[in-house]
Structure 1
Amino acid sequence: MITELEPVAAGLLARHVAAAREWFPHQYVPWSVSRDFDGPLGGEPWTEEQPALDPAARSALIVNLLTEDNLPGYHHALAVNSTREGAWGEWLNRWTAEEDRHASSIRGYLHATRAVDPIALERARMAQVSVGFEPSAGGFLSGVAYVALQELATRISHRNTGRFSGDALCERLMTRIAQDENLHMVFYREVLRAALEIAPDRVLVAVEENVRSFRMPGHAMPGFAQMAAQIAVAGVYDLRIHHDDVLVPLLRNLKIFDLAGLSPQGEQARDSLAAYLERLDARAGLFVERRAQALAARQRRGHADRMHAPAAPVAT
């Protein structure tokens, strides 16, 4: 499969290089607002009062950054499940270089704006990279299916993080990174499309397995569950977004539910995929409903607190 699809990879790599636009992380970091942190060279200590970003936006940026930081693990996983030779190797190196740029720019933004505790951030990076990365399932087709999903999810997460941040500089940076992620998603999606023409049943099995077991690659980072919950409650990335903006558009684009001539194994995988999407849609609807109820209750409590607050003294 790897050998048969190499001409496809070569064509997609050429298209990617033609579509990609050169950019530089240092031009997206607001260095003018930065100042030295305390350390051997002096400087000002970081304190909890310094960040101007909403806590959920900070959590989203930390998750995005620590996810990008684990790039060595992703590079290795893709390399052992494909090859470092020919067009595949050229693509892997190009993809790695572009992904590393994302981590550099996000870290620069967080440091310059003092949005996070730099010591805690570095300790989290060490812990995250020390864990490494192991895909939930091995093999070439499974790897491509996972990365196609992950790149689309990351693109949406980056864009939403920028919008939610309330900072025009952050939004500009995250929008630029999301453009890279979209091009990466297109490469892997089109590899999947070509593979469907060769071995549709095997591709469907790989897609179904990865859709059902999908977790973002940063799930092992310290505090991930708490930050992911905060991000979901804020509406940056939640089950509804995952269903509506990631899974459904990708599967529709690949015409998964229009394929004909599948074997019983392929049909079973597709039926399982449809059933999972239905269950996820119901879970997403329930989550959104409960979030709205919790927000309404919080607003009512806030209104009641204001109504019963003591009147301000009148100057005489």
Structure 2
Amino acid sequence: MREGYDTTFVADPELLLDLKDTAGILMERHLAASNKNPWIPESYVPYSFATDYNPNEPWNVHGWDIPQWLDDALTVNLSTEDNLPYYSPDLDKMFGGESEWDAWNKRWTAEERRHSIVLRSGIMALRLVDPVKLEAEAMIQVSTGEVPKLTTPLDGMIYVALQELATFISHNNTANALEGFANSVVSKNQHNALSMFVGGIKRTGKDENLHYLFYKDICAEAYRLRPLEFLQSLARVIRYFEMPGTGIPDFKEKSERIAAAGIYSAKIHVEKVLEPVIFRQWHVDSYSSPKAATPVESQELEKARENVMRQYKLIKRVAAIT
């Protein structure tokens, strides 16, 4: 999270207990959707196109003319997935325990593992990115373990809901960009190999969208149960939100090129993530206090809602000039 966010963790076992049954229902829904179309990373990796790596020869054996922003997008997407060893313990700390939450965390970890495998294997088989550079950056990223830290389980749920949708969009736009590049390739074999990997990136994105749906709906239930705390957490997350790749070397420069190419930008974050979720899913802009709320409670809720709107408008203004 951005500078200024208090990362001192405060557990909330009561909230997790209150949401346990909903988590179980959403877990069953997720498994039904995920198991309907099972997949393995190897189905999307063009292994027949791969060659042995020789450090004494140019890494780009196929002569790809990949634009720098697409190199950046592939690198950032993979590096983000590579940091799985740090995400899982953090989620376990926020939502841990022998319950439906624990089952979800483990399933999420298993699915995220596949994403790292298919992205790395596809990139290496096709030689889309310099493997020495990629490994050096991965060593820095994973060695430092710099990932967003969340203050409360509720902050965590909201953050991951927004982040999973953002990741889906980033993967999907990267896949579309690589597909466009594949269509410019003359060789049929090269085109087919690239297209196979494009399918893997898109399949990864579908998983991320299913993860988003879980967190989006668990947040909706938390909003119903604890509207004031939810709105306070939402305002914090909107204000301090950062994607999980902040520990990647030259992340700022990479992000700027990725944004300029339309893969993921502040404008996309506002229009494709914040607005659809906080307005069309959680209806924060039209929220009214429960009938049982006292006048004081209603006033606090309205102040919290106004703060969410204030943070959103600030981010929107920043996005308009970047």
TM-score tier (shorter): 0.7 to 0.9
Letter in 1 for 2:319: A
Q: Match of 1:276?
A: 311
Q: Match of 2:27?
A: 13
Of stretches 239-248 and 160-169 in structure 1, the one that deviates more from structure 2 is 160-169
- Structure 2: gaps of 5 or more residues: 1-14, 183-194, 290-296
Q: Are 1:74 and 2:109 matched, yes or no? A: no
Q: Are 1:115 and 2:142 matched, yes or no? A: no
Q: Are 1:25 and 2:58 matched, yes or no? A: no
Give the SS at the match of 2:18. coil
Give the SS at the match of 1:269. helix
Structure with larger RCO (C-alpha < 8 A, sep 6+): 2
Letter in 2 for 1:15: R
Q: Match of 1:242?
A: 269
Distance change >3 Å, CA 52–CA 28, structure 1 → 2: farther
Task: Work out the CA distance in 2 between the residues paired with 1:222 and 1:207.
Answer: 29
Answer whether contact 1:202 1:266 (CA < 8 A) is retained: no
Letter in 2 for 1:92: N
Give the SS at the match of 1:210. helix
Q: Match of 2:155?
A: 142
Distance change >3 Å, CA 265–CA 170, structure 1 → 2: farther
2:116 is aligned, of 96, 103, 106, to: 103
Q: 1:48: how far off?
A: 8.9
Letter in 2 for 1:190: D
Q: Match of 2:242?
A: 215
Letter in 2 for 1:248: E
Letter in 1 for 2:48: S
Q: Are 1:157 and 2:170 matched, yes or no? A: yes
Q: Match of 1:310?
A: none
Question: Residue deviations 1:179-204, cap 9 Å, x none?
Answer: 10000000001110111111011011
**Superposed CA RMSD:** 1.8
Task: Work out the CA distance in 1 between the residues paired with 2:43 and 2:288.
Answer: 49
1:258 is aligned, of 261, 286, 293, to: 286
Answer whether contact 1:65 1:106 (CA < 8 A) is retained: yes
2:54 is aligned, of 38, 41, 46, to: 38
Q: 1:4: how far off?
A: 1.1
Task: Work out the CA distance in 2 between the residues paired with 1:197 and 1:276.
Answer: 21
What is the aligned length?
Answer: 284
Letter in 1 for 2:109: T
Q: Match of 2:225?
A: 198
Q: Match of 2:140?
A: 127
Q: 1:266: how far off?
A: 3.2
Q: Match of 1:267?
A: 302
Task: Work out the CA distance in 2 between the residues paired with 1:95 and 1:137.
Answer: 18
Question: Residue deviations 1:195-216, cap 9 Å, x none?
Answer: 1111011011111101110000
Q: 1:31: how far off?
A: 1.5
Task: Work out the CA distance in 2 between the residues paired with 1:224 and 1:49.
Answer: 27
Q: 1:282: how far off?
A: 2.8
Q: Match of 2:251?
A: 224
Q: 1:281: how far off?
A: 2.4
Question: Residue deviations 1:109-128, cap 9 Å, x none?
Answer: 11011111112111211111
Letter in 2 for 1:230: R
Answer whether contact 2:83 2:142 (CA < 8 A) is retained: yes
- The normalised TM-score by structure 1 is 0.85
Q: Match of 2:6?
A: none
Q: Percent sequence identity over matched residues?
A: 37
Give the SS at the match of 1:235. coil
Letter in 1 for 2:317: A
Distance change >3 Å, CA 122–CA 97, structure 1 → 2: same
Q: 1:60: how far off?
A: 0.4
Q: Match of 1:302?
A: none
Task: Work out the CA distance in 2 between the residues paired with 1:5 and 1:171.
Answer: 37
Letter in 2 for 1:105: V
Distance change >3 Å, CA 224–CA 79, structure 1 → 2: same
Task: Work out the CA distance in 1 between the residues paired with 2:147 and 2:199.
Answer: 32
Q: 1:285: how far off?
A: 2.7
Q: 1:271: how far off?
A: 1.3
Answer whether contact 2:162 2:274 (CA < 8 A) is retained: yes
Give the SS at the match of 1:2. helix
Q: 1:140: how far off?
A: 0.8
